[in-house]
Structure 1
Amino acid sequence: MDKFDLNLIPAGEVPALADAVALAKEIFAEAPTWPRNRASTDDLQVYSTTRDGEPWFARVADVDVPFDYFKQAFVPNFFESMVEFYEYVNAQKPIDDAGEWKGYELHYILPGYFADRNITEWFGYTCDDDAREFYIFALPADLPLAEGATRAVYVFFHHVREDPETKQVCWSMAQTSDMRGNLPRWMQNMSIPGIFVSDVPKFCNYLRKKFGDGTDLDAEDGPTTDDVLEQVLAAESEAEPPKQAGRFWGLW
C-alpha cells in the first residue's frame, strides 16, 4: 500500500492492516512539516497540505482524558460513538466483512440546504494494550447505496497513545474527504480546521460524561459544526474560491 486515496475499495482489495499502520505512521511523521493552520493552539496543532493530489488535514492534541475512555469509544466500533456524539451523523450499520475489516454505511445530515449524504467505509483497528496505544482506520468501501442516495467519500485514521510517565493522552488524526453533491470542495476545506479544533474539547467532554464521573472537563465546548459551516456559507458570499491549486481557505 503506497497511499490513501478516495477511490472506492472492493472487498477483495482492502489492504492489510499492518500496511495501513505503516502508511499512517509515515503521514503522522510528515504532518508537522505541513503548513500550520492559524486555528492551532498550544496543545492542539492543525496542519494541512496537498498529498497525492488530495487536500489532507492532520490534528495532534494532548488531552487529559484517560486512555481507557478513548479505547472504549473507538474500539471496536468508532461509528457507534460518532452517532452518539456528532450531530451530523445520525445512523450507522454494518453491511459487510472483508477479513480484518468490517464494512459500514453511515448517514450524514448536513446543515442548511445541503442534501443528506451516505458513506460506505471499511473500518479496521489495531490495539496494543501493553504499549497503551491503538490505531483506527476508515477507508472508502465499494459497497452499494440505496437508489437516489448521494455518496460522499472519506478517509481517516486516528492514533491514540498514552504517555507512560504523565499518563497524558496524545490523540492524532488525519483525513481527506469529499462530501460531493452541491457542496464545493473549497468550502469543505475552509470549514475543516475550525471543526477539528472545536471537536477536541467537545469529544473529551463526551468521553468524561459517558465513561467517567459525568462532569465536564475544564474546557468550553466551542462552536458547533453548524456554527462553523454557517461562517463558511457567509464567507462564500464575500469571497471567490481559491484559484491557486493546493491552497485552502482559512490557512496562513
Structure 2
Amino acid sequence: MLPVSQHNASDLTVRSGYAYLLSDPSHVRVTRRASRNSLYLVHLFQINNSHACVVPQTMGFGLSAEPWAENDLPSGRDEILNGGLQMASDVLKNWKRGKLYKFKNPNGEDFQVQTFHTYHGSEYWLSRQSKHTIDEALYEKMVYYLNGSERTKTGEWAMPDRTRRSRLEKEYIEVLSDCEILKVTDSGWALVNLEYNLGKPLSIRDFNEWVYPIAPYVDETGREVSLIVSLNAQVPMKQSSVEKNHTAAYYASVERLAYDRDTGELEWLMCTTSDAGGNVPKWMQNATIAKTVAKDVPYLFNFLNTKQT
C-alpha cells in the first residue's frame, strides 16, 4: 500500500466528517484535530502506524463556550455563517427533544416553543425553535431588532451599524441594565459588555461577548435567512465592574431567522450555552434555562406589537 501522502485526492472518500482511503478503509486509523479559528478541520491519517498525511476539509468554525481572543476570531463571513448554520442544522437532527412550551400573549396570541438540548463535551447547550405565520411588515421589524438590519427603499437589506442589534437589546430585555460597545474589529465583530441585573441578593452579572450579525440573504430553499453569532470574549472585566463587585459570566449563541415571503412562515431558532457564575450551581441553571429561553419568544412578539412600523 502507498503512503497516504502519495494518494490523489480522488482516492479519498468522506464518511461522517472523516476521510478514508477507498482502497482499504479497514487499515486506516483516524484521529481528529481542529484549530477552532480555522476554516478547516485537519485530519491525520495513519497507515499501519507508519505513514501519515493531512487532508483539509472545508468547514465552518466550531462554536463553544471557550473564551475567544480577538486574534483567534474567524474573520470571513462565509466561515462564520457556515459555523452557525451547521450548529442550527444539527439541533433538529441530533439534539435531544425537550419540553414543548405553550404561551398566550396578553392580546390572545398563542405560541408554541419546542426546546432541545445536548452536551458538547462538558458544555450544556440548549436550543429553542418556534414557527410563526406573520406578514412582511412584522418580519422586517423583527429583523431590525434581532439582527440590526434594515430594508431599504429599493428592497435590499442594509446594516449601516453592526452594533445596532446589541444596543437595541436594552429595549426588550428587562434585566439588561447596561450595554457598552467596546470596539468593532475590521472583520465586523463587535465587542460588547453587557450588565444584567438579576435582582437581589444576586450581584450584577457582567458579560463580555463578540457579536457578529449576518444580514438576511436568500438561501437555496428560497427562504430569507439571517444570523447572529455570539462568542464568549477573552477580555478582562472592566475596572468599573470590578470596583462594583460584579460577577463574571459568559454566553455563546447562534440565532437564526428563516422567512418564506410567499407563505409568510417564519422559523426562529436559537442555540445557547451560558454560565451566570457566582454561587448559582450549574445544574440548577441547566434545569431552569429552558423555560426562561422559551419565554423570550412571546415576550419579543408582545414588545414588537407596541412598536410602530
TM-score normalised to structure 1 length = 0.77
Does 1:36 pair with 2:97?
A: yes
Q: What is the aligned partner in structure 2 of residue 196 from structure 1?
A: 293
Q: In the alignment, which of 191, 216, 225 is matched to residue 133 of structure 1?
A: 225
Amino acid at match of 1:47: F
Q: What is the aligned partner in structure 2 of residue 72 from structure 1?
A: 144
Q: In the alignment, which of 174, 177, 180 is matched to residue 274 of structure 2?
A: 177
CA 1:160/1:210 → structure 2, altered by over 3 Å: closer, same or farther? Answer: same
Cα deviation, residue 116, structure 1: 0.9
Q: Let me know the Cα RMSD of the aligned residues.
A: 1.9
1:21-170 matches, cutoff 5 A: 21-32=81-92, 33-40=94-101, 43-65=112-134, 66-74=138-146, 75=148, 76=162, 77-98=164-185, 99-130=187-218, 132-147=224-239, 148=242, 149-170=246-267
Q: In the alignment, which of 15, 28, 32 is matched to residue 74 of structure 2?
A: 15
CA 1:8/1:120 → structure 2, altered by over 3 Å: closer, same or farther? Answer: same
Where 2:66 maps in the other structure, the secondary structure is coil
Cα deviation, residue 20, structure 1: 2.5
Where 2:303 maps in the other structure, the secondary structure is helix
CA 1:56/1:89 → structure 2, altered by over 3 Å: closer, same or farther? Answer: same
Return 100-109 or 78-87, whichever deviates more: 78-87
Cα deviation, residue 80, structure 1: 2.2
Cα deviation, residue 129, structure 1: 4.4
Return 7-16 or 141-150, whichever deviates more: 141-150
Where 2:292 maps in the other structure, the secondary structure is helix
Give me the whole-angstrom Cα distance separating, in 2, the residues matched to 1:64 and 1:205: 15
Paired positions, count: 212
Amino acid at match of 1:45: Q
Deviations 1:197-222 (A, max 9, x none): 2111111111221244xxxxxxxxxx
Q: Is the 8 A contact 1:114 1:183 kept in 2?
A: no
Name the structure with the higher strand share.
2
Give me the whole-angstrom Cα distance separating, in 1, the residues matched to 2:127 and 2:305: 24
Unaligned runs of 5+ in 1: 213-252
Give me the whole-angstrom Cα distance separating, in 2, the residues matched to 1:171 and 1:184: 29
Give me the whole-angstrom Cα distance separating, in 2, the residues matched to 1:125 and 1:145: 24
Which of the two has higher C-alpha Rg? 2
Give me the whole-angstrom Cα distance separating, in 2, the residues matched to 1:208 and 1:49: 33
Amino acid at match of 1:37: G
Deviations 1:172-223 (A, max 9, x none): 11000111111111111111111122111111111221244xxxxxxxxxxx
Give me the whole-angstrom Cα distance separating, in 2, the residues matched to 1:190 and 1:79: 27
